Structure 1
Amino acid sequence: MEKVRPLGETSPLKIFINDANTFLAQAIIEEIRNDHQAFDSDTLNSHKIVATITDRENAKPPSGITKIIAKNKKKAVYSSILTSDIVIFDINFGSTEDVDSIVKFLKEQQNGIPKPITLIILSSVMSWSGTDPKEPKNKEIVDNSEDEDMTAEERERLMTTDFIDEDYLTRMPSTRFANLKYIENLVLQLPKFQPLITSYIVCTGILYGNGERTLYEHFRKAWTGTTLPLLGEGNNRLPTIHVQDAAKLIKKIIYDKPNYPYILAVDEGKCTQKQIVEALSQGKEKRISQVDILEVYSEEWSDYLNIDIAMRPSKLFDSSFQWTCRDGLCKHIGLIFDQFSSFRGLNPIRISIFGPPKAGKTKLAKALKKLLQIPRLNLREVFDLAKKSQSQIVKKIQQKENEIKDKFVEEQLAAKKKPADIDKDKIQVKFPDRTVGEVVRFVLKSQLYKTKGLIYDNFPKSEKQAKRLFYSIKGENDHDDDEGFFNQLEHAKVHLKKLPNVIIHLRCSREASSQRFRIQQQESGENNNNITEAEFERRMNDYENNYHGLVDFYRDMKDSTVKIVEIDTMGKKLDDIYRIAKDQVFQYYKFLDYLYVSEDNEKALIEKLQKQEELRVREEQIQKKLQQEQALKLQQQLALQKGSASGPGQENRRVNSRLQKIDEKKHFLLDTKSLPIRQYLLDKIIPTLTKGIMEMTDKLEFEKVTEEEIFNGTNFFEGDFLDHLIRVFEMKGDEFREEYLEAQRKKELEKELERKKSDKGKGEDSDDYEEESPDEVDASNA
Structure 2
Amino acid sequence: MARVFINNVDSYIGEQLAKIFSNTVVGSTVEEAVDDDEVSQRAQVKYEVVGTLADKTADKPACVEEIVEAKNVDELLTALIQCDVVVYDISSSESDVEDCLLACNALHEQIANFKSPKTFICLSTVMTWCKTKPNEPDEPEQPFTEEDYRRRKPHPNFKSEINVEKQVIKLGKTDKTRFLTYVVAAGLPYGGKEDIFHYFFKVAWHGDTEALNIIGTGENIIPSIHVQDLSNIVTSVADSKPKTRYIVAVDDSLSSMTEIITCISKNLGTGNVMNITREEALLIPEISQRIFDILSINLRMEATWVKDGAKFEWVAESGILENISTVVDEYKRSRGLLPIRLCVMGPPAAGKSLIASQLCQHYKLHHLKIADVIQQAIEKLEKQAARAEAEDGEEDDESAQQAQETLDLLNESKQENNDRYEDQYIIQFFTEKLLSMPCQNQGFVLDGFPKTYSQAKELFGNKEEPEDEDAPRLEYDSKIMPEVVISLDAEDEFLKKRIMNLSESVVAGTHNTEDLFLKRLAEFRAVNTDDQTVLNYFDELEVHPDHIDIAADTSSNMSQVMEKIIKTIGKPRNYGPTEEERLELERIAMEKKIKKEALEKLEQQRKEEEEKKETQRRKEEWATRVKEVKEQEEEVLQAQSYPLRNYLMKHVMPTLNQGLIEVCKVRPEDAIDYLAEYLFEHNPQVD
With normalisation by structure 1, the TM-score equals 0.54
Tell whether 2:170 aligns with 1:189: yes
Cα deviation, residue 24, structure 1: 1.4
Partner residue of 2:136? 137
Partner residue of 1:455? 445
Distance 1:427-1:22 versus aligned 2 partners, 3 A rule = closer
Partner residue of 1:713? none
Residue 337 of structure 2 contacts residue 575 of structure 2 at CA under 8 Å; is this kept in 1?
no
CA displacement, residues 592-637 of structure 1 (integer Å, 9 cap, x when unaligned): 586235999776433245479999x9xxxxxxxxxxxxxxxxxxxx
Partner residue of 1:160? 141
Letter in 1 for 2:248: L
Which moves more between the two structures, 606-615 or 261-270? 606-615
Partner residue of 1:326? 317
Tell whether 2:270 aligns with 1:284: yes
State the distance in 2 between where 1:326 and 1:273 align: 18
Partner residue of 2:88? 89
Letter in 1 for 2:496: E
Partner residue of 1:759? none
State the distance in 1 between where 2:463 and 2:5 align: 53
Residue 193 of structure 2 contacts residue 330 of structure 2 at CA under 8 Å; is this kept in 1?
yes
Distance 1:166-1:580 versus aligned 2 partners, 3 A rule = farther
Question: Unpaired segments of 5 or more residues in structure 2?
Answer: 29-38, 385-401, 467-471, 599-687
Partner residue of 1:511? 496
Identity of aligned residues (%): 20
State the distance in 2 between where 1:237 and 1:134 align: 15
Residue 90 of structure 1 contacts residue 121 of structure 1 at CA under 8 Å; is this kept in 2?
yes
Letter in 1 for 2:202: R
Residue 16 of structure 1 contacts residue 84 of structure 1 at CA under 8 Å; is this kept in 2?
yes
Which moves more between the two structures, 300-309 or 88-97? 300-309
Residue 6 of structure 2 contacts residue 52 of structure 2 at CA under 8 Å; is this kept in 1?
no
What is the aligned-residue RMSD (CA, Å)? 5.7
User: Helix, strand or coil for the counterpart of 1:545?
Assistant: coil
Residue 452 of structure 2 contacts residue 534 of structure 2 at CA under 8 Å; is this kept in 1?
yes
Residue 344 of structure 2 contacts residue 488 of structure 2 at CA under 8 Å; is this kept in 1?
yes
Q: Which residue, out of 308, 327, 337, partners 2:297?
A: 308
Which moves more between the two structures, 246-255 or 364-373? 364-373
State the distance in 2 between where 1:111 and 1:268 align: 42
Higher relative CO (Cα under 8 Å, sequence separation at least 6) belongs to: 2
CA displacement, residues 520-543 of structure 1 (integer Å, 9 cap, x when unaligned): 996499xxxxx9899846643346
User: Helix, strand or coil for the counterpart of 1:318?
Assistant: helix
Distance 1:297-1:362 versus aligned 2 partners, 3 A rule = closer
State the distance in 1 between where 2:417 and 2:169 align: 79
**Superposition map of 1:704-743 within 5 A:** none
User: Helix, strand or coil for the counterpart of 1:328?
Assistant: coil
**Superposition map of 1:367-766 within 5 A:** 374-375=365-366, 377=368, 428-430=421-423, 449-462=439-452, 466=456, 498-505=480-487, 511=496, 523=509, 536=520, 539-542=523-526, 545=529, 576=557, 585=566, 588-591=569-572, 595-596=576-577, 604-608=585-589, 610=591
Residue 205 of structure 2 contacts residue 438 of structure 2 at CA under 8 Å; is this kept in 1?
no
Q: Which residue, out of 184, 191, 213, partners 1:209?
A: 191
Partner residue of 1:127? 128
Residue 356 of structure 1 contacts residue 543 of structure 1 at CA under 8 Å; is this kept in 2?
no
State the distance in 1 between where 2:330 and 2:150 align: 36
Tell whether 2:238 aligns with 1:239: no
CA displacement, residues 161-189 of structure 1 (integer Å, 9 cap, x when unaligned): 44433333344444543322221111011
State the distance in 1 between where 2:198 and 2:546 align: 30
Letter in 2 for 1:18: N
Tell whether 2:328 aligns with 1:337: yes
Distance 1:491-1:191 versus aligned 2 partners, 3 A rule = closer
Residue 107 of structure 1 contacts residue 190 of structure 1 at CA under 8 Å; is this kept in 2?
yes
State the distance in 2 between where 1:474 and 1:341 align: 24
Tell whether 2:205 aligns with 1:223: yes
Distance 1:360-1:284 versus aligned 2 partners, 3 A rule = farther
Partner residue of 2:660? none
State the distance in 2 between where 1:91 and 1:554 align: 53
CA displacement, residues 735-755 of structure 1 (integer Å, 9 cap, x when unaligned): xxxxxxxxxxxxxxxxxxxxx
State the distance in 2 between where 1:556 and 1:356 align: 21
Which moves more between the two structures, 215-224 or 118-127? 215-224
Distance 1:384-1:297 versus aligned 2 partners, 3 A rule = closer
User: Helix, strand or coil for the counterpart of 2:324?
Assistant: helix
Partner residue of 2:109? 108
State the distance in 1 between where 2:122 and 2:485 align: 52
Cα deviation, residue 244, structure 1: 0.9
Distance 1:164-1:280 versus aligned 2 partners, 3 A rule = same
CA displacement, residues 468-513 of structure 1 (integer Å, 9 cap, x when unaligned): 766779999xxxxxxxxxxxxx997676664424445456755379
CA displacement, residues 632-680 of structure 1 (integer Å, 9 cap, x when unaligned): xxxxxxxxxxxxxxxxxxxxxxxxxxxxxxxxxxxxxxxxxxxxxxxxx
State the distance in 2 between where 1:48 and 1:262 align: 23
Question: Unpaired segments of 5 or more residues in structure 1?
Answer: 1-11, 140-157, 389-394, 409-421, 477-489, 526-530, 618-782
With normalisation by structure 2, the TM-score equals 0.61
State the distance in 2 between where 1:49 and 1:110 align: 22
Cα deviation, residue 137, structure 1: 0.6
Distance 1:21-1:514 versus aligned 2 partners, 3 A rule = closer
Letter in 2 for 1:340: Y
